[in-house]
């Protein structure tokens, strides 16, 4: 019985080590800068500047909802291993972004322009908090 128990424990330990060494089922394709410039900036700008060209029809609302959803889901990308800078402030900042994006998505689906406009401060805070913590020389003039 002791031999079987020992073998089972050895097998379980080997399986755990094997699983821990398996590569993640995802891979980061772009750099952090590319993700920011190509995904986060355009989708956040769609919300930040919505008052310049408010949605006029269903297509406009659908595009805004898609941008908001992309923004919210992009925050999840920021929290993946290989992108997350740490498990503390980075995660909190990314969660602020996810929350703002999710709220904007809900408001866009409801065609609630005042609610989207009201999210500007929340979204700005999410961006500024992270940039102050992790972007060197953010808002520093020479």
Sorted by where each starts, the structural domains of the chain and their CATH numbers stand as: 29-134 (1.20.120)
pLDDT tens for each residue of 3-22? 555 544 555 554 555 555 66
pLDDT at 2: 55
Enter the pTM of the model: 0.79
**Within 10 Å of residue 27's Cβ, how many Cβ atoms?**
8
Buried b (16+ CB within 10 A) or exposed e, 86-99: eeeebeebbebbbb
């Amino acid at each position: 019985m002791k031999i079987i128990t020992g073998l089972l424990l050895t097998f379980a330990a080997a399986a755990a080590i094997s699983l821990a060494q398996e590569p993640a089922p995802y891979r980061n394709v772009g750099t952090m800068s590319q993700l920011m410039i190509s995904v986060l900036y355009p989708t956040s700008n769609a919300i930040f500047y919505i008052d310049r060209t408010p949605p006029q029809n269903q297509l406009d609302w659908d595009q805004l909802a898609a941008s908001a959803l992309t923004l919210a889901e992009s925050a999840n990308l920021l929290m993946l291993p290989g992108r997350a800078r740490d498990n503390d402030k980075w995660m909190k900042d990314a969660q602020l972004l996810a929350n703002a994006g999710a709220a904007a998505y809900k408001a866009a689906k409801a065609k609630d322009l005042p609610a989207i406009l009201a999210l500007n401060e929340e979204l700005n805070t999410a961006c500024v908090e992270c940039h102050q913590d992790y972007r060197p020389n953010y808002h520093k003039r020479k």
